[in-house]
Amino acid sequence: MTEDRTPYLYGTMPMTPEPPELPELPVDFSAFHEMFHDRYVRYARTLVHNRHDAEEVADATFEQLYRKWDQILASENPARYAWRVLRNKAIDHCRARNRRPLIDAAFDVEALREAVDPIRQIEESLALCHALGELPERQHDVMVMQYLVGLPVNSVADVLGITPAAVRSTARHAKRHLRAILEADRAATEEGHRGDLAD
């Protein structure tokens, strides 16, 4: 019985099948990916526990965006639609691993090393994280993107699908809201301390 063999090309190399061609990504999707991928990873990194997880969240986001790309382009605000997908993916990622979303950037290791009172620095960072969690969604996102991720106003506007003026206005409201939350927390803590002393 003769064994079937792959015919040789020019009598020297075995012929191999051509690899299947990958579908070509839409140009607008490729441009969107190139513009926002790094920003999405940097945002996700403030919520999940390491860079690898942040990359995974961003990749899952773009996979979903690709599957619905035509629908997203037809939406009123594609950037805002995409942002909500990213935000939900990051939160779902944490929930699936029974982890609370975190904001690593609020804990500046160098600041702790140089702080006169490191315990006080940690308490203030924890209070800030709690206060950020109390903000309305858009205020939270603007503060994280602008002050923790470090994006300029125009980039925050691009990512969130809002105008630069809306970013500045939202940041002003968020700062006032944060101060009110922090002052209320501080007053409650002081009241608690007075109660403990009275006992």
Tell me which of 73-82, 128-137, 189-198 is least confident: 189-198
Task: Read off φ and ψ for residue 13, nearest 5 degrees.
Answer: -115, 140
Each domain of the chain, given as residue ranges in start order, spans 27-96, 107-198
d(CA 60, CA 66) in angstroms, rounded, equals: 10
Q: Please measure the distance between the N-terminal and C-terminal CA atoms of the chain and give it in whole angstroms.
A: 98
Out of 33-47, 121-135, 155-169, the most confident range is 155-169
Q: How confident is the model at residue 45 (pLDDT cuts 50, 70, 90)?
A: confident
> β-strand 8-9 against 13-14: which pairing, if any?
antiparallel
pLDDT at 21: 52
Output the pTM of the full model: 0.68
Q: Is the dihedral of CA 124, 126, 128, 130 positive or negative?
A: negative
Q: How confident is the model at residue 25 (pLDDT cuts 50, 70, 90)?
A: confident
**Are the beta carbons of 172 and 88 closer than 8 angstroms?**
no
What mean pLDDT do residues 48-70 have? Answer: 92
Q: Which of the four CATH numbers 1.10.287.130, 3.50.50.60, 1.10.10.10, 3.30.70.2610 does domain 107-198 have?
A: 1.10.10.10
| Residue 70 in tokens | 């035509």
pLDDT at 24: 76
Task: Read off φ and ψ for residue 196, nearest 5 degrees.
Answer: -65, -40
